[in-house]
Structure 1
Amino acid sequence: MTSILGRFRLPVPHVYLIAGASLGGLLFLRHVSSSLRADKFRTLLSPRETTLLELSGDEVKKLPYPPDALPGARDVDSPYGSIRVYEWGPEDGEKLLLIHGISTPSIALTDLAYKLVQKGCRVMLFDLFSRGYSSGPSPHTYHYDSPLYTTQIHICLLSSPLHWSSFTLLGYSLGGALAADFTSYFPTLIHSLILIAPGGLIRRTHTTWKSRVLYSTSGILPESWVERLVARRLYTGPEEARSIEPEGDGVENAETKTTSRGDAVYSSSHYALLQGTPYSTVGAVVDWQIEQHEGFVKAFISSIRYAPVHGEHERWRILGRNIEEGKGGLKKVFVVLGEMDPIIVKDEIMEDARGCLGNENVEFEVVKGAGHEVAIERAGEILTVVGRALGKW
């Protein structure tokens, strides 16, 4: 773990004691302060702009997430950093925008995307800021929150050679929370909404005291400590390399760890995302981001703190009112849940979603035997729901 997470080192207290007692210490602190100000406005570059340049062709092919993993790749410049976007399928096909979860980039939805294209759809996927091959802003400058992610979605849509004025929005986990949030603000753009194991209505009672302390914005822990601890929690490498075991109710472990709550179990860290590429697993992709993407852990922490993951009942109520009042073409929200998901507990979200959206405005599909990885491992069942939402296959 030391070699892999070398840059996530806890500070040595003696350095601060010595520095604080001398003129040299004052100069040192001034230098650190200046560096922090510089970092505040710095773009956190993706591996495409850093380590990828140093690899041979064979090394690139063996990456857990190779840069040519999906068709129709483009890198879109933006004021917040470059965004990796994929778009392919028939130009006259039904348009679907897919948003991935909190830790695994867009290739997590590879199987579903290909199945949709086979049905004649036009799909667009993108890596959220500071995931995969997308760069991102420093969290010191911008919170990874609803405004930032909403802006990113618009940038991706506007980068297309086609006109995405009306489309289906599908989001998984954090992506589901972002999809519901986006639709509540821009109802005229979305004619179908499919949320898969979505965040947004997660009850805070499932957050442990350790997670509350770790992700607190009060400065209880130095940020460098928080980054190191989170990196260790996310890392899925050899068992002997782990220093902190995952918590069953920690939302940050939803896509990468094996754990349980009662009878609920999820384990997707070893699931292969790309056909014929056994080393492209969820766990390997997350580890690669920890090792090679300077913004990944920082953005992850900021997303836990500020993204619309918990307590978004009012936005969901607005979404329900928009349906009732006929704003836009959306008639119903389709929610897909894993029967055994310990993060998005089906009984809880079904109760809360009905309360926010109205019984007639939401339809649930519970996938038997599935956990939180339902969008990754059960694309066939998801495809059926999409077909029902579109009134097609």
Structure 2
Amino acid sequence: MTWALVALAAIAAAPFVIELLRRRMTQTARAAAPGGFARLSDGVTHYRWIGPERGRIAVCVHGLTTPSLVWQAVAEGLAEDGYRVLLYDLYGRGYSDRPRKPHDRHLFHRQLNDLLHNLGITEPVTLLGYSMGGSISASWAAAQPERIEKLILLAPAGMGHDLGRVARITRDWPVIGDWLMLAMFPRNHRKGTASERAIARDVPGIIDYQQDELRWRGFVPAVLSSLRGMLAEVLERDHKAIRQAGLPVLAIWGRVDRVIPIKAMGVMAQWNPDAEHAVIEGAGHGLAYTNAGEVVQAIRDWRDQAGAVS
């Protein structure tokens, strides 16, 4: 009986021990990172610029499990069109710090505000958000519409959808959810990203970069905290505020996206009938790195259409 209890305790403790044994994100680990680092109010943030120094500024916000590299191909396309593109790693991801705070809109808005202030950016920007980054971008735009020139959302979260029973338990049940996340998420993340290896053609190595996130302490807890924080929000009020402010919005969707299903487009259209939409046929949730050329072309078409109308 005693050995059974010891074995049970070891099984229960194993995911937490494995997390503690993961590498910490340190200055040594950051030594080979491209770009720069800003010391902000909640920790260090990694960022990079792509494009001409005097271009109009576009800021790209990545998603739940992807580092900012996910934007590489889209950013290069925007740079060709004259944009100076700012990429940065959200807290808990990439080369940024892993603060042990709720990963909610307050943390992510503060990070973006701090970073823009640190870099001396005061003019309105074109803000792009992908997946959870779409939630961050939309809620930030609703709160500060005067700082937005255009809002572009790729497969944005925030429309509300069923995560599934296990994911709901993980999100909603303290302790048990933490154990499930630490025990199950790494394997599921590797499996899910590996399934896109054959089609992730636009950002070389992006699947390896996504899987490498699991090496670092704090990544998995950050994902769980985001599920409980930023991704738990339904952004109806924010999208209605965006419409009220008259901000130009383009939302780009993947036709076969299983993470943010295409039906979310209809929900967003109800909240903001003025938003424009583009659908990429055959694209799943990885459209930022599997269909980057089509994403950039959709943005160009929207820009040209707006120019023709004006």
Whether 1:340 aligns to 2:256 is yes
Residue 306 to residue 257, structure 1, CA distance change in 2 (3 Å):
farther
Alpha-carbon distance, 1:126 to partner = 0.1
Structure 1 position 45, deviation (Å): 8.4
Whole-angstrom CA distance in 2 between matches of 1:81 and 1:104: 19
Cα 1:300–1:273 change in 2 (3 A) is farther
Instruction: Indicate whether 1:305 and 2:228 are aligned.
Output: yes
Out of 269, 272, 290, the position equivalent to 1:357 is 272
2:86 paired with 1:124: yes
- 8 Å contact kept, 1:169–1:179: yes
- Partner deviation per Cα, 1:242-264 (whole Å, 9 max, x = no partner): xxxxxxxxxxx5xx264xxxxxx
SS in 2 for 1:87: strand
Which has the larger displacement, 294-303 or 86-95?
86-95
Q: How does 1:1-393 map to 2 (within 5 A)?
A: 13-14=8-9, 47-49=25-27, 51=29, 67-68=33-34, 73-138=35-100, 142-160=101-119, 162-203=120-161, 206-216=162-172, 218-219=173-174, 221=176, 223-236=178-191, 256=193, 258=195, 267-268=196-197, 271=200, 274-275=203-204, 280-282=205-207, 284-291=208-215, 293-308=216-231, 310-323=233-246, 330=247, 332-346=248-262, 348-358=263-273, 361-391=274-304
Q: Give secondary structure in 2 for the equivalent of 1:82.
A: strand
User: Does the 8 Å contact 1:339/1:370 carry over to 2?
Assistant: yes
For 2:170 and 2:231, the matched residues in 1 are separated by: 18
Q: Cα offset for 1:12?
A: 5.1
Looking at structure 2, the residues matched to 382 and 182 of structure 1 have their Cα atoms a distance apart, in angstroms, of: 22
Partner Cα separation in structure 2 for residue 133 and residue 270 of structure 1 = 25
Distance 1:164 1:313 in 2: 28
CA offset digits 1:244-296 (Å, max 9, x no partner): xxxxxxxxx5xx264xxxxxxxx357625645xxxx232x21221111x2111
Structure with the larger helix share: 2
Q: CA deviation at 1:47?
A: 3.3
Which residue type is aligned with residue 229 of structure 1?
M
Could you tell me the percent identity over the aligned residues?
24
Offset of residue 130 of structure 1: 1.4
Q: Give the CA deviation at 1:311.
A: 2.0
The one-letter amino acid of 1:75's match is F
Amino acid at match of 1:300: V
Aligned partners of 1:190 and 1:220: how far apart in 2? 40
Shift of 1:49: 2.8
Alignment coverage as a number of residue pairs: 291
Structure 1 residue ranges without an equivalent (≥5): 1-10, 17-43, 54-65, 237-252, 259-266, 324-329
Cα offset for 1:219? Answer: 2.3
Contact preservation (8 Å) 2:58, 2:84: yes
Q: Post-superposition shift, 1:373?
A: 1.2
CA RMSD of aligned residues (A): 2.6
Distance 2:234 2:110 in 1: 21
CA contact (8 A) 1:181 1:308 kept: no
Q: Is the 8 A contact 2:50 2:76 kept in 1?
A: no
User: 1:130–1:295: 8 Å Cα contact kept in structure 2?
Assistant: yes
CA separation of 1:158/1:48 partners in 2, compared to 1, >3 Å: closer, same or farther?
Answer: same
Letter paired with 2:72: T
**Worse-matched range after superposition: 221-230 or 151-160:** 221-230
Give the TM-score taking structure 1 as reference length: 0.68
Query: What secondary structure is seen at the aligned counterpart in 2 of 1:181?
Result: helix
